[in-house]
Amino acid sequence: MKLIKIAYRNVFRNKKRSLLSGSAVAVGAMTIVFLFALIEGMRLDMETNLVNFFNGEIRIRDRDYEKYEKYNPLHLNIIWDEIEPFLIQHEDIKAYSPRVVFSSSLYINEKMHPAIAFGIDFALEAKYQKLDDILYEGRLPSDNENELLVSLALAKNLNLKIGDKITLLSTTAERSTNAITLSIVGLANFGVDSMKQPITWLPLQRAQHFLKMEARVTEILLKVNGNRTLVTEKLRTQLDDRDYEIKSLQESDIIYDMMEMVQSVYYMIALFFFLLGSTVIVNTTVMVVYERIREIGTLRALGMHNRLLTTLFLLEGVIISSVGAFVGVVVGSGVSLLFNRIGINFTQALSGVDMNISNIIYPVLDLKTPVIVFVYAVCVSALATLIPSTKAAKIEVVEALKYV
């Protein structure tokens, strides 16, 4: 207990030096907390976009669809009526979205413009994701009406507005061609750069009629309760007799899978930051050791053991790094929470990056993060002080007393 008091007192003996050491740890901790929150925000944002727009938590498609995806293989489809009762009854399935995804051309003013079209069951989609967040202007298309929702980017590029009629051309499931005229009733802001492509959403039934694939869909996206991997395995076993490909989000999207994998790399980066911060502490402690060499000699002459001396310097390091890490974690958490509300605009930085990440990222602070970062910071910084502390303990008494 006395040792702690001495260590505490020593910290305040040279306030500026202690402040410098503590600040280094604080900056490191703050940066790491914010970095982790930003990465978590990006991961969750990417996951939300992938789940809502592209892959679902689990995606069901025809077994051969992926192999021929670039050929717009609408004939490789799923009979929706056959699988819907199974999905309704399944205890692990929270929501589902049957879709027809196809490449198309928009015929406007005698010119063709490429676009990706989605046939959507808007009633089921409303249960699958918040459509109010997507709808920028106007309303959603009505089932069985020749109506269309177009992405804001498409509307801007082609100077389209609500009420305009456009003709959509595509290859059908019979591998023939067809065209349909639809009225624009709404503009959608998907917020994701990859969804800023020319994208149109039309009612599923109209898409099925137009593409000659009545009651059929190209994919079904699922949101599930519990572990995705386990539910995916379960569905594979239960639907084994059908020609389906059932993939979890991790299996469908390599980038997302990688993003989960590289989280361990972030911990390595964090370690590097703390070691960098710790060099200041090491440096300061070394200076303190030399500055207090007479004191060390006196203490040793009075009978203080090497171990106690090492512990004393170690305690000083722990106190400084604890205070620094605490301040850093608090400030880092505060900054993360602030940006969680206002967001960080990455529009320019992400332009052209096909990663399904929104332009505005909201850092997400996981409650575990500040605790882990605090413990991590204190441990790394304290361990770093061991080097000069051991050095101090090894100083010969006679040598130290020379300075008296």
Query: Which residues contact another protein by CB under 8 A?
Result: 68, 71, 73, 75, 107, 110, 112, 146, 165, 167, 169, 171, 174-181, 209-210, 212
CB of residue 146 to another protein, shortest distance in Å: 8
CB of residue 64 to another protein, shortest distance in Å: 9
**Which of 119, 388 has the CB closer to another protein?**
119
**Which of 179, 276 has the CB closer to another protein?**
179
CB of residue 74 to another protein, shortest distance in Å: 10
Tokens of 276: 């960098």
- The Cα–Cα gap between 23 and 323 comes to 9
Tokens of 176: 């023939």
DSSP lists the bridge partners of residue 62 as 244
- The Cα–Cα gap between 111 and 106 comes to 8
- The Cα–Cα gap between 338 and 340 comes to 5
Long-range contacts of 122-129 (CB under 8 A, 24+ apart): 122/203, 122/204, 124/95, 124/96, 124/97, 124/98, 125/97, 127/95, 128/52, 128/95, 128/96, 128/97, 128/221, 128/223, 129/52, 129/97
**Which of 202, 377 has the CB closer to another protein?**
202
**Which of 167, 298 has the CB closer to another protein?**
167
Identify the three-state secondary structure at position 271.
Answer: helix
CB of residue 164 to another protein, shortest distance in Å: 12
Cβ neighbours of residue 254 closer than 8 Å, sequence gap 6 or more: none
CB of residue 70 to another protein, shortest distance in Å: 12
**Which of 79, 404 has the CB closer to another protein?**
79
For residue 157, how many other CB atoms are within 10 A of its CB? Answer: 12
**Which of 209, 234 has the CB closer to another protein?**
209
Rg over alpha carbons for the chain, rounded to the nearest Å, is 31
CB of residue 201 to another protein, shortest distance in Å: 18
